[in-house]
Amino acid sequence: MKVLVIGNGGREHAIVWKLAQSPLVTQIYVVPGNGGTAQIATNLNIPSDDLEQMAKFAVENEIELTVVGPDAYLAEGTVDLFQAQGLRVYGPTQAAARLEWSKSYAKEFMGRYRIPTGKFATFTTPEAAKAYVRETGVPIVIKADGLAAGKGVTVAFDLETAGAAIDRIMVDKAFGAAGASLVVEEYLAGEEASLLAFCDGKIAVPMLPAQDHKPIGEGDTGPNTGGMGTYAPTTAFTPELLEQVMAEIVTPTMAGMAAEGTPFVGTMFLGLMITKDGPKVIEYNVRFGDPETQVVLPLLESDLAPIMLAACDGRLAEVEIKWRRETTAVCVVAASAGYPGKFTTGIPITGLEEVEDSLIFQAGTKQLAEGKLVTSGGRVLNVVRLGKSIAEAIDGAYADLRQINFEGIYYRGDIGHRELKRQPRK
């Protein structure tokens, strides 16, 4: 079977890496791909915004499964376009993807189906938003309504920060059209976790729970990024909690989406806060997380290809989904100097060949014609290490990361710190 993967991040490298191990898969194409996918699959020279040409390629080359990685493609209706051509594609339709591309829609949806989440209000003018914030007080959370690459959220502990965040979204238009309206949300205190699930429109099968580290700085300080590191599984997520999340959140979401005429197919990704009143939804994403995928898929013992096929065909209940037990995976993201702000690209990357025991999933990398690998994005690469304990995985990942270099390389030195407190070094 020939497969097409759309996207160019570490997430897509991890998906391609996992699919490449499937005996069912004979060839993998990636568009646009990156330096890492170039080594194990065929990157296609199709402009990254030319969906028509991608679908045409898939038809002409008898692609039996297309996997859409990034949210922006799902929001644009890539799945609808492919389906209209009779293609099988793993991911939600544009209407189902609304759970991610409109935070206000997601909030109203949760209200309709009594899915636990923080209180919220939506605004279309900065004055009204500020008046509301003055009334409710801090801490408070300000979010651009649309897609903002994980950077449209500010958790404000004082009114000045809240006001500045509102201005950034609505006056400076830092996120463009995504900031035409904004959501002001109740601050939820607790431990955060990411739960991904395979969905076939009817049922959802959870993956192993992961934890991301969104802020750029150690100790979870500074502005939010797309994610600076992850680990899985997180023991903050007990089996009882998983049962509660499935019953109170995942199952009602699947039923609600079906009831609204937009059944959810693909990966549902719940950003959860485990509060003292139980788990609450921070946000829905409608795709694999990046960098959650980089730790979750290496722990998947089963073949990914039949799972995705079954999800597309509405028969997920029939496939076996097995996970590696007694193994923890840690992912540390190496980023360009300046990220999540401005950064330069084209910087040579060295030392990858020194790494033996970790998996390297490349993100913002490009392979030049002469074979040289250079940086091409903010998050450049992911070092993923499996271990029998979190400590072993962390130590291994950092030991390998120290072999790698590019000018200005930045990474957090404290990935997994919460889990390490729960499971200290012996």
Residue located via tokens 């079977």: 1
Name the binder of 283 from ligand GLY, ligand AMP, none, CB < 5-8 A by kind. Answer: ligand AMP
The CA distances from residue 288 to 70, 104, 420, in Å, are: 8, 21, 25
Kindly tell me which of 226 and 377 has the beta carbon lying closer to ligand AMP: 226
**Is 404 exposed, middle or buried, given 0-12, 13-18 or 19+ CB atoms closer than 10 A?**
buried
Looking at 103-111, 289-297, 335-343, 415-423, which segment touches ligand GLY (CB under 6 A)?
289-297
Kindly tell me which of 63 and 197 has the beta carbon lying closer to ligand AMP: 197
Q: Supply 292's token pair.
A: 């959650």
For residue 90, the one-letter residue type is Y
* From 71, 100, 185, 303, residue interacting with ligand AMP (rule: CB under 6 A): 185
Q: Supply 245's token pair.
A: 């999340």
Nearest-5° Cα angle at 125, 119 to 131: 60
Name the binder of 227 from ligand AMP, ligand GLY, none, CB < 5-8 A by kind. Answer: ligand GLY
247-286: contacts with ligand AMP (CB under 6 A): 271, 282-283
100 is a contact residue toward ligand GLY (CB under 6 A)? no
Count the alpha carbons within 13 Å of 288 in the hemisphere toward its beta carbon. Answer: 27
Provide the b/e sequence for 207-221 (b: ≥16 CB within 10 Å).
bbbbbbbbbbeeebe
Strand-pair category, 365-367 with 373-375:
antiparallel
292 is a contact residue toward ligand GLY (CB under 6 A)? yes
> H helices within 64-191, ranges in order?
71-75, 78-84, 98-101, 103-112, 126-136, 159-170
Provide the b/e sequence for 332-356 (b: ≥16 CB within 10 Å).
bbbbbbebbeebeeebebeebeebe
156 is a contact residue toward ligand AMP (CB under 6 A)? no
Cα(306)–Cα(21) distance, rounded to whole angstroms? Answer: 12
150 is a contact residue toward ligand GLY (CB under 6 A)? yes
174-213: contacts with ligand GLY (CB under 6 A): 212
211-230: contacts with ligand GLY (CB under 6 A): 212, 227
* From 145, 290, 303, 400, residue interacting with ligand GLY (rule: CB under 6 A): 290
289 is a contact residue toward ligand GLY (CB under 6 A)? yes
We find the least distance from the C-beta atom of residue 350 to ligand GLY, in angstroms, to be 27
279 is a contact residue toward ligand GLY (CB under 6 A)? no
107 is a contact residue toward ligand AMP (CB under 6 A)? no
Strand-pair category, 229-232 with 211-212:
antiparallel
Kindly tell me which of 150 and 266 has the beta carbon lying closer to ligand AMP: 150
195 close to 237: Cβ distance less than 8 angstroms: yes
We find the least distance from the C-beta atom of residue 273 to ligand AMP, in angstroms, to be 6
Binding mask 186-225 for ligand AMP (x = CB under 6 A): xxx---x---------------------x---------x-
We find the least distance from the C-beta atom of residue 155 to ligand AMP, in angstroms, to be 5
Name the binder of 192 from ligand AMP, ligand GLY, none, CB < 5-8 A by kind. Answer: ligand AMP
Name the binder of 290 from ligand AMP, ligand GLY, none, CB < 5-8 A by kind. Answer: ligand GLY
Nearest-5° Cα angle at 142, 221 to 250: 90
Kindly tell me which of 150 and 396 has the beta carbon lying closer to ligand GLY: 150
List residues near ligand GLY by CB under 6 A.
150, 212, 227, 285, 289-290, 292
Binding site for ligand AMP (CB under 6 A): 118, 141, 143, 150, 153, 155, 185-188, 192, 214, 224, 271, 282-283
